[in-house]
Amino acid sequence: MVDLYGQYQKIKPEVDAAISEVISNTTFINGPAVSRFATNLQHYLGVKHVIPCANGTDALQVAMMALDLQPGDEVITSSFTFIATAEVIALLRLTPVLVDVDPVTFNISPEAIERAITPKTKAIVPVHLFGQCADMDRIMDIAKKHHLFVIEDNAQALGADHTSANGLKRKAGTIGHIGCTSFFPSKNLGCYGDGGAIFTNDDALAERLKMTVNHGMKVRYYHDFVGVNSRLDSIQAAILDIKLKKLDEYAEARRYAANFYNRAFAACSKLTTPQTASFTNHVFHQYTLVTKDIDRQELMAHLQQKGIASAIYYPVPLHLQKAYLDPRYKDGDFPVTEHLSQHVISLPIHTEFDDETLEYVTSSVLEFVNR
Ligand SMILES: *Cc1c(COP(=O)(O)O)cnc(C)c1O
């Protein structure tokens, strides 16, 4: 689905030197590379605080811990997302409240959020799925009206822009009270292992987040509350710092591939190409088609036989996952999510395509679809 080796070949000298430097300095944990990267990411995002951590799942967990959410508090999130979003809610004994998504953008539906609010609701976790922003103007309005926290799950849309109705342009992940991201290798800004970060513009919250990732500690060996150990290591930070400088270029390459795919599939009635909402751009973490009257398993087998990867994100909605079965929910409750999970397919998208390869992918898809 991605070409991490091809991408590495283009930045190999810089990356190898940066890794060597960390090893030579033996500043493996909390070294200068980590603070340098955090500062550079802060500037890139235009956010006041970036707190690095060990992975994107931790970022979400730490966000909820720092907001002091209590068992039984309800947290509203999307039924169509990666499991991590709901997993940390459940792990902290908070109550995940799932809502359906918009059929066009696949992002959480503001109307559905509003309908799901109860006196126990404490937070909303919008996921900027596949690389475009959820409707943050409306989500922030709802949050303000009902005094709720907003934690953006920005694992898939780092670098995307959101433009508010008043013209204010901000980076995804910097609009809610807290933003979370992942540097998993295949993410738009990926390291060579695990990594994550938490963003906020709130000074007091930043302090609390920094303590939470560091055992609830501010003064060494004095622990004010129960925290976790969640760190980004220096080697990963050094690699991320190099790739951050290329993040916009990488997004352009992904958009180029997406536009190529869009043109190729425009006339195909059995494939709906991804649509971008007016208030966001798209960084295409995934390129996801909605199929009609197509056997996806057969299409995937056809592509695999031609040496082309494809994937289904996500085949099972959250409310139908074995670990999350809940008497509150049943099959049929989230029709848009359920339709998507049965009909979407994602094609390879990354930074290293040439036209010839894109042509090969699209003609292989169309060959199956039009046969
Ligand atoms: C990748 C991802 C995460 C988790 O990130 P990890 O670094 O793998 O823990 C969380 N939410 C979404 C939407 C993701 O895509």
pLDDT tens column, 299-315: 999 999 999 999 999 99
Q: Is 182 in the pocket of ligand 1 (CB under 6 A)?
A: yes
| DSSP H or E segment with residue 70 | none
* 182 C-alpha to ligand 1 centroid (Å): 6
* 188 C-alpha to ligand 1 centroid (Å): 12
The percentage of residues in the chain with a pLDDT greater than 70, rounded to a whole number, is 100
Atom of ligand 1 nearest to the CA of 285: 15
Q: Which residue, among 81, 88, 167, 99, has the nearest Cα to 139 in the 3D structure?
A: 99
* 28 C-alpha to ligand 1 centroid (Å): 24
Q: Is 190 in the pocket of ligand 1 (CB under 6 A)?
A: no
Ligand 1, pocket-test mutation among 182, 198, 213, 286, most atoms within 8 A of CB = 182
346 — pLDDT class (breaks 50, 70, 90): very high
Residue 295 CA from chain centroid, whole number:
28
12, 191, 249, 332 from 244: Cα distances, Å: 15, 10, 10, 42
Q: Is 85 in the pocket of ligand 1 (CB under 6 A)?
A: yes
Structural domains of the chain, with CATH: 4-99+106-244 (3.40.640.10), 247-369 (3.90.1150.10)
Encode pLDDT of 144-174 as tens digits. 999 999 999 999 999 999 999 999 999 999 9
| Strand 271-272 versus strand 121-125 pairing type | unpaired
Cα 341 from Cα 82, distance rounded (Å): 12
Q: Which token pair is 331?
A: 């099959």
Contacts 24+ apart (CB under 8 A), 299-307: 299/345, 299/365, 299/368, 299/369, 300/345, 302/364, 302/367, 302/368, 303/361, 303/364, 303/365, 303/368, 306/360, 306/364
pLDDT of residue 330: 94
* 60 C-alpha to ligand 1 centroid (Å): 9
Q: Is 7 in the pocket of ligand 1 (CB under 6 A)?
A: no
Encode pLDDT of 39-68 as tens digits. 999 999 999 999 999 999 999 999 999 999
102 — pLDDT class (breaks 50, 70, 90): very high
Residue by residue, DSSP assigns 97-108 as EEE-B-TTT-SB
Q: Is 154 in the pocket of ligand 1 (CB under 6 A)?
A: no
Cα 239 from Cα 242, distance rounded (Å): 5
Cα 94 from Cα 102, distance rounded (Å): 25
Q: Which residue, among 270, 286, 274, has the nearest Cα to 346 in the 3D structure?
A: 286
| DSSP H or E segment with residue 289 | strand 287-291
Q: Which residues contact 221 (CB under 8 A, 6 or more apart)?
A: none
- Residue 347, by phi and psi: left (phi above 0), alpha (psi -120 to 50) or beta? beta
74 — pLDDT class (breaks 50, 70, 90): very high
For the chain, how many residues are written?
371
Encode pLDDT of 285-298 as tens digits. 999 999 999 999 99
Whether the Cβ atoms of residue 154 and residue 196 lie closer than 8 Å to each other:
no
| Strand 95-99 versus strand 74-78 pairing type | parallel
* Dihedral angle sign, alpha carbons of residues 116, 119, 121, 122: positive
- Residue 147, by phi and psi: left (phi above 0), alpha (psi -120 to 50) or beta? left
pLDDT of residue 179: 98
| DSSP H or E segment with residue 75 | strand 74-78
Q: Which residue, among 131, 130, 126, has the nearest Cα to 63 in the 3D structure?
A: 126
